[in-house]
Amino acid sequence: MNSILFLILRRMRAPIITVIITYTVAVIGMTLMPGHDPDGNHWQMSLFEAFYVISYTATTIGFGEVPFPYSPQQRLWMTFSIYFTVIPWFYAIGKIISLAQDPSLKQAFITSSFSRGVQQLQEPFYIVCGYGETGSLLVGALDKKGMRVVVVEMLQERINELELEDHQSAIPNLCADAKMPDTLLKAGVRHPMCGGVAALTDDDHANLAIAVAVKLMNPDLPVLARAENDETAANMLSFGTDHIINPYTLFGDHLAMEVHALGSYLLHEWLTGVPGDSLPSPACPPIGKWLVCGYGRFGKSVVENLQREGMSTMIIEADPELTGCDECIVGSGAEAHTLHEAGVTDAVGIVAGTDNDINNLSIVMTAREINPNLFVVIRKNKRFNEPLFQHFNADITMDPSDIIAHECLAHMISPLLAQFLLLARAQNNQWANQLISQLVEIVGESVPETWAATLSITEAPGVLSLLDDHVEVRLAHLLRDPSNRERAMGMVPLLLVRGNEQILLPANDTLLQAHDRLLFCGQASAKASLPLLLCNRKSLSYIIDGKEIADGWVWRWMRQHLPN
């Protein structure tokens, strides 16, 4: 703010000095001109009167000849003063107005209000660089989950979009290049409440620059970066980027998960979804021969994962030399004869994975005409084509922005969630299905809330004070309704982390210890009521033994000193 004031003052120097000088000359001249009062006596204007006259003349107000009619000499000087003072006056006003419209001043105003907004954040927040398709999805989801976000984006149009959207909490945003370390500093990279940075621009180099800059400025800050090239990813890794997100490998990974463990996949989708959304319907890819159209980064990842699952694949690629494909059928895949050549009639599934939406749609439509039973996986590149894809209704639609946003959410909601998902992936399908049915019983068919809690002195003073008094606190106690101990809250403990030990789906009678970290999943009401049990010793001890304890200085003293 200070710098803006100085900027204004500095620019206003010349106009103000011009005004002062012209006034001075005009006022002096006015006092020197001889005149006459109505009685014919010699009269000269005093300095004050002259200043008064010049003031109303220069501002073009014009009260006339005050206090007496002027002599010809005075009128002559007045004529000169009018042209002499009015022009600098307008020059000064014009300068003020042009200053108000000055782009650099406007930018200075916006930047300073942005950094003030960031400095005033009192709760943990994430910095999202790049508000494209992925960024907007992620920001919307984080906002719905009640987390604070700061957005940095290069293009003004996208910032306008962000401002038009309806968000729960204010989102400080800045239209600036996130590659500039200064921008990142303003966005709060060194802010004590900053929880992490997500570099989600569509430019790998920009993401790399952001990741490097953040790691140099604040090495402890988690960085999630999107990278589509392997070299960029390797470079990011060497700088200690915490999570590198490649949408293509991720999708391949997910597809493989869908093939061999649908339950685990669903669990993943569910826990990283936006609360309130409905559950994605499960689609189980069939086993057999698959056609893959387009052997780019996406196609390669799909082929690799399908082959690992023991499926045979047939690749259709328009430019085999560019993509480095050894064994394939040359063609775009949109023509019936190429599909026939690849053996579409005896295939069980087709993957349309080129980087052109219209081609992809055309491929799967042709293929389905030939073989209506095909399982269709289609890659969506542009978000604005969404209605076309909805209409087509493929078995699986791969949306890179959606995948990246989900992956970011998994890491941002809590580090525990990412840990849980990793462990869950190692479990078998049956385990996942069981957990899903348990969750459905509790929260119904919509995406549940997922949250973490740490039994620390700041987050759970109530639990710790009971533990200090050697009271046994079990996990089951935290799952009760604080207003009625008979009733269970709608939540499921997913993970308990104690030191290096990780307990997946901890049993209800687990004894809690200080510094345990817990991951829960369940209804929003349960999430809201849990802090009461964690913080309030009285509520928790009521849950444990059903007795309301008399808690006050006098009562405690009496209990300790008087028997019964």
Partner 1 sequence: MNLEKVVFGFFIVMAMTLNFGFFIGEIDNPLHHHVYELYAAIVVNLIATVLKFGDRTQIGAIHLATSLVADLQLIAAAIVWVVFSGSADDSITITRVVSLSGGALVANVVSVALLLAETITLRR
Q: By the 8 A CB rule, do 240 and 217 touch? A: no
Q: Of 26 and 262, which has the nearer Cβ to partner 1?
A: 26
CB of 418 to partner 1, least distance (A): 46
Q: By the 8 A CB rule, do 497 and 424 touch? A: no
Which of the stretches 43-51, 108-116, 207-215, 307-315 binds partner 1 when contact is defined by CB under 8 A? Answer: 43-51
C-alpha–C-alpha distance, residues 532 and 521, integer Å = 17
**Is residue 6 involved in binding partner 1 (CB under 8 A)?**
yes
Q: Of 112 and 397, which has the nearer Cβ to partner 1?
A: 112
Number of residues interacting with partner 1: please give it, by CB under 8 A.
Answer: 18
Of 27, 257, 318, 377, the one binding partner 1 by CB under 8 A: 27
Of 34, 37, 44, 47, the one binding partner 1 by CB under 8 A: 47
Of 12, 217, 283, 370, the one binding partner 1 by CB under 8 A: 12
* Long-range contacts at 335-344 (CB < 8 A, ≥ 24 apart): 335/366, 336/366, 336/369, 336/370, 339/291, 339/363, 339/366, 339/367, 339/370, 340/370, 342/291, 342/314, 342/316, 343/289, 343/291, 343/314, 344/291, 344/370, 344/371, 344/374
Tokens read off for 564: 């019964």
Q: By the 8 A CB rule, do 295 and 351 touch? A: no
Q: Of 16 and 558, which has the nearer Cβ to partner 1?
A: 16
**Is residue 10 involved in binding partner 1 (CB under 8 A)?**
yes
**Is residue 16 involved in binding partner 1 (CB under 8 A)?**
yes
**Is residue 17 involved in binding partner 1 (CB under 8 A)?**
yes
**Is residue 66 involved in binding partner 1 (CB under 8 A)?**
no
CB of 44 to partner 1, least distance (A): 12
Of 20, 93, 97, 507, the one binding partner 1 by CB under 8 A: 20
Degrees, nearest 5: CA angle 21-23-29:
105
Contacts (Cβ under 8 Å, ≥6 apart) of 522: 442, 443, 448, 449, 489, 490, 491, 492
**Is residue 24 involved in binding partner 1 (CB under 8 A)?**
yes
**Is residue 155 involved in binding partner 1 (CB under 8 A)?**
no
Which of the stretches 5-13, 124-132, 525-533, 543-551 binds partner 1 when contact is defined by CB under 8 A? Answer: 5-13
Q: By the 8 A CB rule, do 193 and 168 touch? A: no
Question: Alpha carbon of 133 to those of 200, 207, 383, 401: distances in Å?
Answer: 9, 15, 7, 6
CB of 322 to partner 1, least distance (A): 56
CB of 100 to partner 1, least distance (A): 17
Binding site for partner 1 (CB under 8 A): 2-3, 6-7, 9-10, 12-13, 16-17, 20-21, 24, 27-28, 46-48
